[in-house]
């Protein structure tokens, strides 16, 4: 019985430690939807004007040095952003993954992504899908 109690307490300790790390990771990246009509920094406004000139390109990104990325996607209607911390074969990478949900020809999505540049991120992974179940991870 004593061994069971020790194992149970050890398991709870390990699980609570994992949950704390997960909560910290969730605060590394944040995002918000924007409108082109909002008051934006001058460099972002200039970038948006240039985006309109590229008729064939659907997804555009603009990264600032202060831990901010702007994404403007034509023919897309939703976006979600995730922080991915991976260790693959001893190589540790920290990435931002942006997933876009395709929409109609008149749809656009404009997001501002903020991240803690001390903790994140080496690369941006931009993915898109037209499958709503895949976009919402089957949670609908």
Q: What is the mean pLDDT of the chain?
A: 83
Q: Is 136 helix (H, G, I), strand (E, B) or coil?
A: coil
48 by Cβ neighbours in 10 Å (0-12 / 13-18 / 19+) ranks as middle
pLDDT at 54: 83
Give per-residue pLDDT as tens, 123-139.
889 999 999 988 988 55
> Rounded to two decimals, what is the model's pTM?
0.76
Give per-residue pLDDT as tens, 21-41.
444 455 788 999 999 999 999
Domain boundaries, the chain: 29-135
What is the CB-side half-sphere exposure of residue 72 using CA atoms within 13 A?
Answer: 17
Give per-residue pLDDT as tens, 39-60.
999 999 999 999 988 888 899 9
């Amino acid at each position: 019985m004593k061994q069971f109690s020790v194992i149970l307490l050890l398991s709870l300790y390990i699980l609570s430690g994992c949950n704390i790390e997960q909560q910290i990771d969730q605060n590394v990246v944040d995002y918000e939807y924007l409108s082109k009509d909002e008051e934006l920094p001058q460099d972002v406004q200039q970038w948006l004007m240039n985006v309109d000139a590229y008729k064939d390109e659907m997804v555009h990104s603009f990264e600032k040095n202060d831990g901010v990325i702007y994404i403007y996607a034509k023919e897309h209607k939703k976006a979600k952003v995730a922080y991915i911390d991976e260790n693959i074969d001893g190589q540790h990478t920290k990435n931002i993954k942006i997933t876009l949900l395709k929409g109609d020809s008149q749809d656009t999505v404009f997001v501002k992504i903020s991240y803690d540049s001390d903790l994140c991120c080496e690369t941006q992974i931009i993915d898109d899908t037209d499958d709503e179940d895949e976009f919402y991870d089957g949670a609908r």
